[in-house]
Amino acid sequence: MKKIFNLFDLSQKVNYKTEILSGLTVALALVPEAIAFAMIAGFSPLTGLYAAFTMGLVTSILGGRPGMISGATGAVAVVFVGLILKLKEVYPDITPEGILQYVFATVILAGVIQIITGLLRLGKFIRLVPQPVMFGFVNGLAIIIFTAQFTHFYQKESTELLDGFPMMVMIGFVLLTMLIIWGLPKITKAVPSSLVAILVVSAIVIGFNIETTTVADTLKEGETIKGSFPPLSIPEIPFSFDTLLLILPFSAIIAGVGMIESLLSLNIIDEITETRGRSNKECIAQGTANIVTGFFSGMGGCAMLGQSLINISSGARARLSGIIASVGLLCFIMFGSELIERLPMAALVGVMFMVAIGTFEWASFKTFRKMPATDVMVMVLVTLITAFTHNLAMAVLIGVILSALAYAWENAKRIRARKYTDENGIKHYEIYGPLFFGSVKGFSEKFDIINDPNEIIIDFAESRVADMSAIEALHAITGRYARQGKTVHIRHLSKDCRRLLQNAEAIIDVNILEDPDYNVMTNRM
């Protein structure tokens, strides 16, 4: 048995009891989430549950982060809302079954895009996400997880809150669940506290026949989570260029959202476990999982930070827990649907509340006085965009752009020039700070073209030419001096700066003067 598990890249020191119990806990937590996300897009519960099974199983075996859980997610489900509207606009008579066929095809194409991204090794660019954006993403996701549970405090298919005894029962069992999760680890860590909390609360509700909201109450009339093994089928859509153009934009968005959420979750779990996952391998695994999901009647998805944190906090560190969670979920669908539908939502809501509390970066509040104002602004903005739009990809993208602009602005202000004239009447400009698109205006203002002597030296010992805007700035300065009949020499360029200038020989004419009294600057910025 161990040899089989080692094929899945499991550690030699796997705590099998912890992995199995943690996996079962995650399987229980996946049920309401998968149903809810399927309902966001208007799909049947089984569409979300099948996606949770196939996504979780494939990524657990092939993924770059052991212990991370994937499944149907709200971020992906939201994209399908736009796809459905587009399909109804193009095909007014399309049936719900016809829509699902396009959904499956879209998921498959998204998987292909993710695999290509992984093969091109583009997953490493997730490292460009700054820490304030990471804080904002995590905090926004924690708020989403927390507020998403509020719907279970409403009466079934109504906008009215539970009142009286039903509300007291709901709140009481939620608090009991949270108390067990918080208190049990202080007594023993032999079993996952989340699993114990679910079992204890469920035993009380079922044993004493207490009337409260159950998993069955989250389903529409006539719906059930009972099903068979996911059916294998090829999407029945026209295989044409027009179809490709129709689904490609949505596939690209799903691929992007999925990779961003998955890789950010990977980074967060890396920090918690003090290990390092493989981002490109995870991209390939996510793509493979989406392709499999599309062929097995699932709505696609990506990594789920909430369920991943349940798994990690329960002590799971290997691939086995994810495999158990997926197989356990399938067993619930095929054999245990009646029992699962009787589980009290209060227990599952309590688990997710504790996940949200544990996910939120409370330490980020302590950084407000220590971080630059721009970083605080980015963190708060990403949190708000994530929480209110549920568009995680857009939130992260905006955060990265704002952080990059703030960084460029700060560096643009650092351009300096120390000026002096030597005994030979040659004027020296010693440049400090990077010369790039943001600092070229300040750089150009440092020179006194009219009053300078006939020969000047621009010294880059403490600077570097960073981009084409910098080259154009040098071109403009040398041109202005040339029109005055004056000579410009450029000193102490790093090797990469020289290469950039040599590649631009067609558009710039400069005289690079070597001075043996100086060392050519290396790439030290």
Map out the domains of the chain as residue ranges: 17-381, 413-512
Higher-confidence position of 393 and 523: 393
**pLDDT tens digits along 448-503:** 999 999 999 998 888 888 888 888 888 888 889 988 989 888 888 777 666 666 66
Tokens (6 digits) for 39: 């309902």
In sequence order, the 6+-apart residues with CB closer than 8 A to the CB of 98 are 87, 91
| Both tokens assigned to 392 | 């995680």
Query: Strand, coil or helix: what is 143?
Result: helix
Question: Phi then psi for 418, rounded to 5 degrees?
Answer: -95, 130
Average pLDDT over residues 89-116: 95
Report the pLDDT value the prediction gives residue 4, as an integer from 0 to 100.
Answer: 40
Own/partner long-range contacts of 332-339 (Cβ < 8 Å, ≥24 apart): 332/27, 332/28, 332/31, 332/225, 333/46, 333/49, 333/50, 333/53, 333/225, 333/226, 333/227, 334/226, 334/227, 334/228, 334/229, 337/224, 337/225, 337/226, 337/227, 338/226
Q: Does pLDDT of 12 surpass 70? A: no
Mean pLDDT over all residues of the chain? 86
Strands across the sheet containing 487-491: 416-421, 427-435, 455-465, 487-491, 511-512
* CB-count burial class (<10 Å; 0-12, 13-18, 19+) for 176: middle
The number of angstroms, rounded, from the C-alpha of 220 to the middle of its chain's C-alpha atoms is 31
Q: What local confidence, expressed as pLDDT, does residue 100 receive? A: 95
Which CATH number does 413-512 carry? 3.30.750.24
Residue 95: burial class (beta carbons within 10 Å; 0-12, 13-18, 19+): exposed
Least Cα distance to 71 among 321, 443, 319, 329 occurs for: 329
d(CA 97, CA 114) in angstroms, rounded, equals 26
Query: Residue 464 carries which side chain, given as an amino acid letter?
Result: R
Cα angle value 250/97/55 (rounded, 5°): 55
Residue with tokens 């005289």, as numbered in its chain: 511
- Any idea which of 161-170, 207-216, 513-522 has the lowest mean pLDDT? 513-522
- Report how far residue 58's alpha carbon sits from residue 258's, in angstroms, rounded to the nearest whole number: 15
- Residue type at 260? I
Cα–chain-centroid distance for residue 195? 27
Place of tokens 């090829």: 234
Average pLDDT estimate for 192-197: 88
Does residue 513 carry a pLDDT above 60? Answer: no
pLDDT of residue 514: 52
Confidence of residue 519 (pLDDT cuts 50, 70, 90): very low
Q: How far apart are CA 324 and CA 26, in angstroms?
A: 9
Q: Give the Cβ contact number of residue 405 at 10 Å.
A: 13
pLDDT tens per residue, range 332-343: 999 999 988 998
